[in-house]
Chain A
Amino acid sequence: MATYSTSDFKGGLKFMLDNEPCVIMENEYVKPGKGQAFSRVKYRKLISGKVVDKTFKSNETVESADVMDFDLAYLYNDGEFFHFMDNNTFEQIAADANAVGDMDKWLVEQNICTITTWNDAPIAVMPPNFVELEVTETDPGLKGDTAGTGGKPATLSTGAVVRVPLFIQIGEIIKVDTRTGEYVGRVKK
């Protein structure tokens, strides 16, 4: 297994810690003019999703993690597994509910998602930053309200619930930011 020294640390580097693959989010080099240098690292544990801070002494090493990202098209859910396909090779990967977590509500057929694997097994699924989904349930809007300041909940075709402006009606397609779960706009058909 390859190792990384603190001098290799940068955002996006994947490494093993306490038997869990992790990814560096931020790395800050700290060094007193006369004294030991340290790296203060903010990283995300890839399985639990937890964000953790840790300080390393300069030149400490960590093991690399056999973690890869693939951009794959979402196909379908068979009740147990979520199936994705590489549109170039047509190879398929099945991710279980643990890997998908609560991202299932943003999975739209044919959308390209980022699948992260560890030792070839999927551990995380990231949908595109924006998805377009149909509103399947929401209270009828009040006539005359166009500003939509207060908003109302709307259930989307995948089961996701987001706050939308009052003028949004059942059957409309809306654009949602999957990172925040917020309504972005109405999509004209």
Chain B
Amino acid sequence: MNWLPNASLAQLTARAKMLNTIRDFFSRLQVLEVETPSLSQAAVTDVHLHCFKTQFVGRNISDKPLVDGAVPLYLQTSPEFHMKRLLAAGSGSIYQVSKVYRNEESGRYHNPEFSLLEWYRVGFNHHQLMDEMTQLLMAILHCAEPTRCTYQEAFLTHLQVDPLSASNEQLKSAGAHLELGDVLDNEDDKDTILQLLFCIAIEPKIGQVSPCFVYDFPASQAALARINTQDSRVADRFEVYYKSIELANGFYELNSSAEQLKRFEADNKLRAKMGLDEMPIDKKFVDCLDHLPDCAGVALGLDRLLMLATEQDHINDVLSFSIDNS
């Protein structure tokens, strides 16, 4: 019987119910549901995201040179770039439920393809978006009101160190009691040190009773968020954690093409240094950004949300078919 699905019928029903709740929620708010491509000629440059690559072999659909007689295409790691092109073209607030694809990611909370709910609210900043997200989380998880803290407060509370001003050495000594050994001692990239400490010492402590919004991430981890206008050490970026699971990532969206291009190029330089392939920068996305309305957006992992809603321990338990059963 090894053809059987992973998820039980009750799980499939719970997923359908969750999707109904989501669609009702946005329908009432008059946020438009959209669909964007899974395949793109451009890709994400983030050094920690690995795209699946394939090629199109029909008519030449690209204005770029062919590679081995075909057009290289990348499965999207998130629908962000295309959704922002819709926003820049005047779509107004939009949402999408889609499959996204990330190579090299497999584990208790990771499947290389997974479902993402991504939405953008025109005229919102990230705090207003957190307010709205609170309502959605409570509707699906039946949880208490989520809490909020800054990235700095989280480190001060749980590691007694200020992530914004501390040196690498100070961060390492704040994490010495975790007995992480080489992986901490030998690391010289501050963001990697911060991410390690956050994963090991903070994530298991926050958002245990109700979800926790962590905001004001360090500017060096801004990704596609604006730098805060009051404090340039932090970015207008937030994440949501609940019961030691990272659920969502949101931004008050950067709308400067020059700044975005600079970040992508810096990513590619870092990729070259790390021996990773440089990725084709999405020029159409960069060009749209000067027309992007003031907006905030967030991506929420639906499989993990369902794990939490139905109290499952492994992502495979909520998938119809996990990658090793596909």
Residues of A in contact with B (beta carbons under 8 Å apart) = 7, 28-38, 40, 53-58, 60
Contact = CB atoms under 8 A, between A and B. Distances in A.
A60 B191 CA distance: 18
Interface stretch (B51-59, B104-112, B128-136): B104-112
28 contacts: A7-B104, A29-B106, A29-B109, A30-B199, A31-B105, A31-B110, A32-B48, A32-B195, A32-B198, A32-B239, A32-B246, A33-B239, A33-B299, A34-B48, A34-B223, A35-B192, A36-B195, A37-B104, A37-B105, A38-B196, A40-B200, A54-B181, A55-B196, A56-B183, A57-B187, A57-B192, A58-B104, A60-B183
Interface string B178-199: 0111010001000110011011
Nearest to B183: A55
B46 interface: yes
Nearest to B47: A36
B166 to A, nearest CB: 18
The 5 closest A-B pairs by CB, nearest first: A29-B107, A35-B195, A36-B192, A55-B183, A33-B249
Contacts of A57: 183, 187, 192
Contacts of B196: 36, 38, 55
Contacts of B104: 7, 37, 58
B105 A28 contact: no
Given A7-B104, A34-B46, A29 B110 contact: yes
B8 interface: no
A37 B199 CA distance: 10
Contacts, number: 63
Interface centre among A7, A38, A54, A55 (most CB of B within 10 A): A55
* B contact patch SS: mixed
A29 B181 contact: no
Given A29-B106, A54-B181, A58-B104, A35 B200 contact: no
B312 interface: no
A38 B46 contact: no
A55 B183 CA distance: 7
Contacts of B110: 29, 31
Contacts of B46: 34
A34 to B, nearest CB: 5
Contacts of B170: none
B150 interface: no
Interface residues of B, number: 29
A35 B107 contact: no
Nearest to B77: A33
B221 interface: yes
A36 B183 CA distance: 12
Contacts of B221: 34-35
A34 B106 contact: no
A33 B183 contact: no
Nearest to B108: A28
A28 B183 CA distance: 15
A32 B191 CA distance: 12
A1 B239 CA distance: 43
Interface string B297-316: 00101000000000000000
Nearest to B299: A33
A38 B196 CA distance: 8
Nearest to B274: A59
B249 A34 contact: yes
Interface string B108-132: 1110000000000000000000000
A35 B48 contact: yes
Contacts of A54: 181, 183
Contacts of A28: 107-108
A32 B199 contact: yes
Contacts of A34: 46, 48-49, 221, 223, 249
A37 B102 CA distance: 12
Contacts of B108: 28-29
A175 to B, nearest CB: 33
B303 to A, nearest CB: 13
Interface centre among A28, A29, A56 (most CB of B within 10 A): A29
Contacts of B181: 54-55
Nearest to A35: B195
